[in-house]
Amino acid sequence: MKVVLCWHMHQPEYRDLHSDEFQLPWTYLHGIKDYVDMAAHLESHPQARAVVNFAPVLLDQIEEYCAQIDAYFNSGASPRDPMLRTLLAPPAPATPPEPITPALLAPFLRVNRKRVIERFAAYRHLAAIVEWLERHPGDIVYSSPQLISDLAVWYHLGWMAETARHIDPRIARLQAQQRDYSLQDRSELLQIVLELLRSIVPRYKKLAAAGQVELALSPYAHPMLPLLINIECAQEAQPDASLPAEGRYPGGIERARWHMQKGLETFERHFGRRPVGCWSSEGGLSMATLHLLAESGFSWTAGGESVLRNSLAACEKTARGGAAEPLSEEGVKHRVFRFGDAPVDCFFRDDGLSDLIGFQYADWHGDDAVANLVHHLEQIAATASVRDAAVAIVLDGENAWEHYPENGFHFLQRLYSVLAEHPRLALTTFADVVKEQQLERIHLPRLVAGSWVYGTFSTWVGSPDKNRAWDLLIEAKRCYDEALASGRLSARQLEQATAQLAACEGSDWFWWFGDYNPASAVSDFERLFRLHLSNLYRSLGCAVPESLSAVISHGGGEPERGGVMMHGQPPVGEQRAAEPRAPV
């Protein structure tokens, strides 16, 4: 039976595009940890195969980090990321140091406490000092710049790829030193960061050239395509979903096309090849999105299991009273589908198996976790039509692993080893599945629009905070359209404004709005969203509206995995999507 492991890599636009200053460090931190590790695990198992999907804006940011760090080593230019600069701040009072405050120290603990900080005695000791100072802020005057230096080193060592940790003697030396890191030590660590970031794209290119990895993409800045094209499609799976007061996103289909074209151009520039598959941002699909994917030249896409469930229910509703035999979701969810007249093959995520990796196996022994996953796959193989079945395990390739011991090293090594050698399970790619001559697809008259989360768009639209964010974006887009129509923008101004608009259209901002998410994360992302919108108005030569000075969302919840991951299915007891209605 065919099994496809699909790892999705994405980060939103973290740069202030006016200053080129990175506002949050997650691109380079996930780069030196997860993107490196995920390539290394495949490299160590040449018989294993996988699909790796990149958001193109992530690739551009990795490239920018490499350029900035390279400029530091070549000319002394300071990197435009506050966290990277902490590796370079001298511990001696050669220049007046920034006053040490609890707010300055807290970011160095933004890493998994159990799996990272508690793992290293020196880091654990530094964390205890920071937490003591938070409780006794009056004593912070007795702390020294060396505290910042040592915290910066351990923060980056904590975020280091496990596969690099195993083989790089420089990392081993820095870990063994434990404290009192000099500027030379920190410069060496920055060199390691640069080398790892530089290696990411070439490693995946090599894996793709060897046929081991299929590279796919998402739209450029990771927008939610169905909502961009027609936000009313949110009511297909949730007829009572509340929509933004401003209505549809103006010119949404043109903007969706822009993200597809820009994404393809960026992807080809980095990887030197054109992809045949697209994980539409957040698995967001609609009939209009499928037609856009076909127009853009893609042969396959993938979505959430609940999207298939809703589409099957709509098909059954249409067939009531006729001769059509209802399709059982369990019997067909691992098959390849086409909808209406859209010539794009659709795969659907197995939520149960994918969420076991994302949420459950982190607390299991790696061997036991892999044995359990393989057992589930064997059960599917025993009952499925093996020739046409392809089990799609899809999840992000960056956020799950910090919850595993040693960044998932043992689990992933065992996973690839067992699946690559299994006599009845065959690791493959989506592209290879759809190329099979004898593949029998299931055709349904239409797809009910939805995302991989619950089969709805409730994570991105419908609540007061999310709808308010859409209203602000729509207002800014109208200003963009008016400036464009006036002809007052030069070619350079138009290019800058369009790039800024793309950053505003990313899906991540809407993901974080809501009182169920942590206050600190909501604050970071809603501030950056408002900054992007403000910069858009400035790039258009327009006054920034007073409305952008007001906080959109505050957060305050304590969701599982800190809110960076969600289950594909609603929690037990939470209402599923209502009976789907006709597409809009």
Residues 215 and 204 sit within 8 Å (Cβ to Cβ): yes
Which residues make Cβ contacts (< 8 Å) with residue 197, sequence separation at least 6?
A: 28, 31, 32, 62, 65, 66, 69
Q: Which of 377, 371, 381, 328 is nearest to 352 (CA)?
A: 377
Give the pairing of strands 2-9 and 426-427.
parallel
Q: Which of 88, 115, 201 is nearest to 399 (CA)?
A: 115
Exposed, middle or buried: residue 250 (CB in 10 Å: 0-12, 13-18, 19+)? Answer: middle
Q: State the Cα–Cα distance between residues 484 and 493, nearest whole angstrom.
A: 10
Q: Which helix (H) or strand (E) holds 8?
A: strand 2-9
User: To which residue do tokens 């409305």 refer?
Assistant: 547
Give the pairing of strands 15-16 and 21-22.
antiparallel
Q: State the Cα–Cα distance between residues 513 and 98, nearest whole angstrom.
A: 32
Backbone angles phi, psi at 240, to 5 degrees: -95, 10
DSSP symbols for 535-557: HHHHHTT-PPPGGGGS-------
Six-digit token string for 451: 């995302």
Residue range 86-138, pLDDT digits in tens: 999 665 555 555 678 888 899 999 999 999 999 999 999 999 999 999 998 88
Domains annotated for the chain, with CATH where assigned, are 1-76+197-220+264-320+328-457 (3.20.110.20), 92-181 (no CATH), 464-557 (1.20.1430)
Which residues make Cβ contacts (< 8 Å) with residue 440, sequence separation at least 6?
A: 387, 388
Q: Where in 325-480 does DSSP place strands (E)? A: 337-339, 345-348, 390-396, 426-427, 442-444
What are the C-alpha distances in Å from 506 to residues 259, 282, 481, 550? 10, 11, 18, 20
Strand partners, 303: 348
Six-digit token string for 331: 């019997």
Q: State the Cα–Cα distance between residues 175 and 331, nearest whole angstrom.
A: 51
Q: State the Cα–Cα distance between residues 38 and 362, nearest whole angstrom.
A: 16
CA 101 centroid distance within chain:
32
**Interaxial angle between packed helices 409-421 and 36-43, expressed in degrees from 0 to 180 and rounded to the nearest 10:** 40
Q: pLDDT digit of tens for each residue in the chain (584 aa)?
A: 999 999 999 999 999 999 999 999 999 999 999 999 999 999 999 999 999 999 999 999 999 999 999 999 999 999 999 999 999 966 555 555 567 888 889 999 999 999 999 999 999 999 999 999 999 888 888 788 899 999 999 999 999 999 999 999 999 999 999 999 999 999 999 999 999 999 999 999 999 999 999 999 999 999 999 999 999 999 999 999 999 999 999 999 999 999 999 999 999 999 999 999 999 999 999 999 999 999 999 999 999 999 999 999 998 766 544 434 455 666 799 999 999 999 999 999 999 999 999 999 999 999 999 999 999 999 999 987 767 889 999 999 999 999 999 999 999 999 999 999 999 999 999 999 999 988 999 999 999 999 999 999 999 999 999 999 999 999 999 999 999 999 999 999 999 999 999 999 999 999 999 888 989 899 999 999 999 999 999 999 999 999 999 999 998 888 777 777 788 888 765 544 444 555 54
Please give the angle made by the CA atoms of 347, 351 and 352, to the nearest 5 degrees: 135
**Amino acid present at 7:** W
